[in-house]
């Protein structure tokens, strides 16, 4: 489902990052990652509410930095991912912001496992900068009357249970442990994939699992092809705008196509300075995504089905 107004908004949010890409593509790509939450949220009714875009960017950046800090101690990292999974699910039972912690911050902590603390800190700062730029652009839109006052302390419908939180944490921890044991170059990719597709509702997880595999494959393939061509910075700038516009226009789709755009941007960030690694990164990304989705399938769908079987 493509929404043209949302696409235009996503393109507008992308402008600061796209301008930076013209002079420093790698920094611009990192800023574009920080714009992704804003592209999904859109324009909130009041300017005060729009400050949440910066909070979202901070959540992404801080979570990634935390993952980078934990990556140096694998045992602690695995235990922390499990604990954070349980804690975020408990938060989501009681508060709306807990859903944000569970669905966004937790996977970004997994992503951070792929980086050193120093690199994660630098990426976090650029991500925050990207969200600040998107927030500033959102302030240009006039305010409108909110549809209704949200009840901040009311849990959303279908809130996760403690059992789900344990399985969510176990899925992320298992993926992280396998990544560390196999000494994968990007431990966080499989972990993040598992945490991103896990959902309390079984049908939603099935759709997200299939959608993520297909989307990651397409996004990675397009990014590899673009880097292989080696276009001028202006082409990369346009690509950033197109990716964020596409994410904004399709984020509500039940087929979960957003990972195509996120993977595209992440691959540009990873491959721009090392285009010779494109083929290996492509295979690594797809295989680790399959690993994460398989682990999520085990903990999210198989184990609950087994426990429901009559003895």
Question: With 80 as the cut, is the pLDDT of residue 151 above it?
Answer: no
Average pLDDT over residues 140-155: 67
Average pLDDT over residues 22-28: 95
At 278-292, the pLDDT tens digits run 888 888 889 999 999
**Which of residues 304 and 251 earns the better pLDDT score?**
304
pLDDT of 205 reads 86
Q: How many CB atoms lie within 10 A of CB 69?
A: 20
Q: Which helix (H) or strand (E) holds 162?
A: helix 162-181
**Which of residues 234 and 259 earns the better pLDDT score?**
234
pLDDT grade for 192, boundaries at 50, 70 and 90: very high
Cα Rg, the chain, nearest whole Å: 19
Q: What are the CA-CA distances from residue 50 to residues 3, 42, 98, 168, 285 (Å)?
A: 20, 9, 18, 30, 34
Average pLDDT over residues 40-46: 90
Helix ranges restricted to H, 73-116: 74-94, 96-100, 106-112
- What is the DSSP code (8-state) at residue 159? P
Tell me the C-alpha distance between 302 and 182, whole Å.
24
Q: What are the CA-CA distances from residue 223 to residues 48, 60, 209, 210 (Å)?
A: 36, 22, 21, 20
- What is the DSSP code (8-state) at residue 1? -
Tell me the C-alpha distance between 22 and 232, whole Å.
9
Question: With 70 as the cut, is the pLDDT of residue 35 above it?
Answer: yes
Domain spans in the chain, listed from the N-terminal domain onward: 4-141+161-308
């Amino acid at each position: 489902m493509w929404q043209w107004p949302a696409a235009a908004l996503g393109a507008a949010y992308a402008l600061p990052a796209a301008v930076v890409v013209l002079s420093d593509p790698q920094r611009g790509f990192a800023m574009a990652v920080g714009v992704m939450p804003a592209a999904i949220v859109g324009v909130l009714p009041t300017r005060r509410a729009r400050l949440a875009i910066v909070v979202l960017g901070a959540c992404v950046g801080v979570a990634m930095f935390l993952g980078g800090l934990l990556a140096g101690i694998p045992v602690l990292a695995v235990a922390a991912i499990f604990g954070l999974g349980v804690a975020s699910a408990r938060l989501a039972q009681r508060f709306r912001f807990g859903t944000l912690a569970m669905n966004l911050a937790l996977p970004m902590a997994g992503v951070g496992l792929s980086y050193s603390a120093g690199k994660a800190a630098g990426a976090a700062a650029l991500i925050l900068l990207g969200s600040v730029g998107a927030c500033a652009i959102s302030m240009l839109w006039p305010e409108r009357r909110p549809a209704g006052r949200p009840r901040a302390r009311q849990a959303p419908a279908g809130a996760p249970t403690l059992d789900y939180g344990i399985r969510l944490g176990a899925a992320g921890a298992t993926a992280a442990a396998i990544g560390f044991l196999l000494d994968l170059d990007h431990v966080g990719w499989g972990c993040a994939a598992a945490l991103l597709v896990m959902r309390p509702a079984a049908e939603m997880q099935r759709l997200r699992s299939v959608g993520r595999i297909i989307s990651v494959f397409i996004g990675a393939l397009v990014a590899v092809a673009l880097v292989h061509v080696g276009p001028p910075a202006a082409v990369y700038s346009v690509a950033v705008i197109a990716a964020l516009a596409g994410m904004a226009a399709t984020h509500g789709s039940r087929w979960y196509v957003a990972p195509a755009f996120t993977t595209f941007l992440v691959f540009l960030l990873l491959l721009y300075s090392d285009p010779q690694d494109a083929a290996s990164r492509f295979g690594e990304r797809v295989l680790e995504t399959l690993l994460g989705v398989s682990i999520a399938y085990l903990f999210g769908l198989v184990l609950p089905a087994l426990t429901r079987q009559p003895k």
